[in-house]
Chains A and B, each alone.
Chain A
Amino acid sequence: MELKTQVHAEDGKQELTITRQFDLPLELLFKAYMEPEIVEQWMGTKVLKLENKSHGSYRFETTDPMGNKHLFHGTIHEFELNTKFTRTFEMENTPFPVQLEFFEFERLGENSSKLIMHVIYKSLEVRNQILQLPFKQGINMAHNRIQEYFTKS
């Protein structure tokens, strides 16, 4: 059986691609990224700011089970409704450099669509470190671990 979500991280390249097929019409998939209330529901985050336009920006805040707040933000470079957007992504108060993310949306059928997320990191080392974050506990917990990880190494 083919996996619905696939991650392609080619050896020696400072980038990766995440693809996912959804049993959703393209417009609904795109809406999931546009409407702050909906983003909050599936990402489990608070949307402080979300400007869906070229030269816009966004800022999200998540609270981990320990009650710590973590902030994420970036700039939206281009935005084309139901087609694509390009943004930067940065975790605040972590040593991780900003990353560049290309989101492309494709219609596969009336009720199916595809998302291609292409992420470019500052270096191959950064990409591999991100891949090694403790994702099992979720990204919020990961945030705390990142500090540990870097103070150790």
Chain B
Amino acid sequence: MELRRDVFQALADPTRRTIITLLALKAMTPGAIAENFNSSRQTISKHIQILTECQLVDQQQNGREIYYHLNPVKMKEIADFIEPFRKFWDERFNKLESVMKDYQAKNKK
């Protein structure tokens, strides 16, 4: 069985975050990406591979060159990931606020 890569682990690495930032500006070839780092091309291509496996990055053949670009759908999914958790707490705190406002009103009388 193939293990699905954890997106959060993929994003935990600073090099991979930098690659994401670079690709956010424009689609790039692996060579152009590697030029931004001191690491070997092999190391960088390993990082790109991980990002591709998580579908954070897509590749596109353009003539002889492969261009990598960000997958906006996947990036949005990550942004939405925390939203249900945040909403849960937001609703709970709204309730706290309204309960305490009632309490405050009652105790002022």
Which residues of A are at the interface with B, using a C-beta cutoff of 8 A? 3-7, 9, 11-12, 18, 20, 22-25, 28-29, 31-32, 38, 41-44, 115, 124-125, 128, 130-136, 138-139
Chain B contact patch, size range: 20 to 34
Q: Does B5 contact A (CB under 8 A)?
A: no
Asked whether, in the complex, the Cβ of A5 is within 8 Å of the Cβ of B86, the reply is yes
Q: Write the residues of chain B forming the contact surface with A, with a CB cutoff of 8 angstroms.
A: 6, 8-9, 11-13, 17, 81-82, 84-90, 92-93, 95-97, 99-101, 103-104
**Cα distance A124–B93 in the bound complex, in angstroms:** 25
Q: A3-B90, A7-B86, A131-B85 are in contact. Are A12 and B99 (CB under 8 A)?
A: no
Whether B99 contacts A42 by the Cβ 8 Å rule is yes
- Chain A residues within an 8 Å CB radius of B95: 41-42, 44
Main secondary structure of the interface of B (DSSP, over half): helix
Q: Identify which of A24, A124, A131 contacts B104 (C-beta below 8 A).
A: A24
For A3, A18, A22, A42, the residue with the greatest tally of chain B CB atoms inside 10 Å of its CB is A42
Is the pair B81, A131 in contact by a Cβ cutoff of 8 Å? yes
- Is the Cβ of B82 less than 8 Å from the Cβ of A7? yes
CB-based nearest B residue for A35: B103
A132 to B17, CA, bound (A): 22
